[in-house]
Amino acid sequence: MMVKPGISFSSGLGKLVLLSFCIGCSVNPHRDSEKQKPDILLIVYDTVRADRAGCYGHPEPVTSLLDRMSRMGAMFSTAVAPAPWTLPSHASMLTGVYPHRHGARFVPPGLGLDMVGHSIGLADPAIATFPLLLKSAQYFSICVGGAPALNPILGITRDFDIVDVYGSNRSAETINHNLFEYLESVAPGKPVCVLVNYFDAHGPYVRMDLEGSPWLRDLDGPRFTNFYRKMPDGRMLVEQIGAGDFIPSTGMLHYARALYDSEIAYVDRQCENLLLFWARHRDLDHTLLILTADHGELFGENGLVDHARTLDDEVLKVPLIVRMPGRVPARIIQYPVSLVDLFATVTHFAGVQNSPDTDSESLARFWRSNPVRSSLAASEVYRDARWVELTSPAFDRDQRALYLDEFKIVWDHRKSPGIRQSPILNFESSDSREHVLSRAGEWDRAHPTVLPVSAELHPAIHEELKALGYVPGESME
């Protein structure tokens, strides 16, 4: 059995009670909240799909903190990741543009660096990130996390004053420890912008034994759940599953989901620790707090596991909660929104002018006096030549998905008639169908694909991405 060392989970309820007490009375003595810029705290639960949180319908008590925060701020019931994996999704949060523009995505072979049959383009250096724009307002910016895709070598975190994301095996507890030291070094009264990426819920899954974890009660012992392990034919298990050559059993998937839940619960409790520290040392009530995930995970839906290659709801729908007392009302917002909008939301609350050429719009539009009557969110996934070779020609596609109000449509961007031939989920009449098709066509034409900027990939980053299954044909044993 694998557990995170040196961590006690015996006081989860007590910490929530203490956090509840701290909220509303956290005050930074060096700050006049009427005059100072608010702090910005963006916390990403990496690889956490929305339906594993209690506030989004999960029956087990996995996310006590998220559930409480959902009642204290704006909760978005249909928050959509702009891409189904870490690098392009974070790049869109930080730049306010979709993956086809910032270039941090899988691309066809022959464009940029060929990495075992596919490439990873770097974020276009001409596109501004919100940490860069916040420098004009004297913000000090920090990025800490465990995702190798956030390494500044890949470009998307290049504008933070401090970047500490080296090593995908670091726990959320270690991330918190390092962040606390960085925050204590910030000059009194100086506003901060912090991005935290908790990577623990990403596969391969490990069992996190927390007190009060009923979802682990019926597990009868360790089973094989490392979908990135190399199999005798040289492929990873996830590739065999993608090809339909291996069908995971119901028991295997049940066990994997239980381990996944235990990792999410661990992350949620470490997030409590971070907010407790923030309430004591900063001013939690004068902080724009954003809690979200970069993408979700598949556990047998449509015969697949893992993420990164499809636009299923289980991979794209993520939790999104925004809290700032006095500026963000507590409510549930039903309209679809994109994580692309976090860029404009951050600049809006920081009082910084937004980039003129952006796909992002502040989430504050949902609580202004003029009500929103329609909303859309898009997501994209691009052909991975090596994955197609090892699995199935069915993945030979560049797909886009559009969530428009209560509808969803998915089409192949490379096939011009693809939109007209695509099924639409939830449409009720021919008029609705034509409306969705028209809007999807307009969006597709307005967002032509731009070839990404590429550069040499550092060998150490290549090895970390390989270990996490992002390089097909390679694996972590």
Question: What integer pLDDT is reported at residue 16 of this predicted model?
Answer: 55
Query: Per-residue pLDDT tens for 7-18?
Result: 333 445 555 555
Is the residue at 244 inside a domain?
yes
Q: Sorting pLDDT into bands at 50, 70 and 90, what band is 274?
A: very high
Q: Does an H or E element contain 419, and which?
A: helix 418-421
- Name residue, tokens 């040289």: 234
Across 228-247, average pLDDT: 91
Across 115-135, average pLDDT: 70
**Nearest residue to 121 (alpha-carbon basis) of 382, 474, 342, 393:** 382
Give the percent of the chain with pLDDT over 90.
Answer: 52
Is the residue at 16 inside a domain?
no
Across 120-142, average pLDDT: 86
Is the residue at 431 inside a domain?
no
Question: What integer pLDDT is reported at residue 71 of this predicted model?
Answer: 97
**Nearest residue to 270 (alpha-carbon basis) of 91, 85, 88, 146:** 146
Give me the domain span that covers residue 248: 38-398+449-467
Total structural domains in the chain? 1
Q: Sorting pLDDT into bands at 50, 70 and 90, what band is 350?
A: very high
Across 232-255, average pLDDT: 91
Across 435-441, average pLDDT: 88
Q: Sorting pLDDT into bands at 50, 70 and 90, what band is 119?
A: very low
- Which of residues 31 and 410 earns the better pLDDT score? 410
Q: Which tokens in the block code for residue 345?
A: 């939301």
Across 436-462, average pLDDT: 70
- Name residue, tokens 């070779």: 389
Question: What integer pLDDT is reported at residue 222 of this predicted model?
Answer: 58
- Name residue, tokens 């620790």: 273
Is the residue at 424 inside a domain?
no
Taking 70 as the threshold, does the pLDDT of residue 459 lie above it? Answer: no
| Mean pLDDT for all residues in the chain | 83
Across 101-129, average pLDDT: 57
Taking 60 as the threshold, does the pLDDT of residue 110 lie above it? Answer: no
Taking 90 as the threshold, does the pLDDT of residue 311 lie above it? Answer: yes
Question: What integer pLDDT is reported at residue 461 of this predicted model?
Answer: 53
Q: Sorting pLDDT into bands at 50, 70 and 90, what band is 24?
A: low
Taking 60 as the threshold, does the pLDDT of residue 441 lie above it? Answer: yes
243 vs 256: CA distance, rounded Å: 20
Taking 60 as the threshold, does the pLDDT of residue 101 lie above it? Answer: yes
Taking 80 as the threshold, does the pLDDT of residue 416 lie above it? Answer: no
Q: Sorting pLDDT into bands at 50, 70 and 90, what band is 162?
A: very high
Dihedrals φ, ψ of 435, to 5°?
-65, -45
Is the residue at 426 inside a domain?
no
Q: Which tokens in the block code for residue 379?
A: 């997501």
Across 207-225, average pLDDT: 70
Query: Per-residue pLDDT tens for 367-405?
Result: 987 778 889 999 999 887 778 888 888 888 889 999 998
316 vs 470: CA distance, rounded Å: 17
Is the residue at 417 inside a domain?
no
CATH at residue 98: 3.40.720.10
Q: Sorting pLDDT into bands at 50, 70 and 90, what band is 109?
A: very low
pTM, rounded to two decimals? 0.87
Question: Omega into 204 within 30° of 0, i.e. cis?
Answer: yes
Question: What integer pLDDT is reported at residue 108 of this predicted model?
Answer: 38
Question: What integer pLDDT is reported at residue 88 of this predicted model?
Answer: 92
Is the residue at 441 inside a domain?
no
Q: Sorting pLDDT into bands at 50, 70 and 90, what band is 39?
A: very high
Is the residue at 7 inside a domain?
no
210 vs 245: CA distance, rounded Å: 35
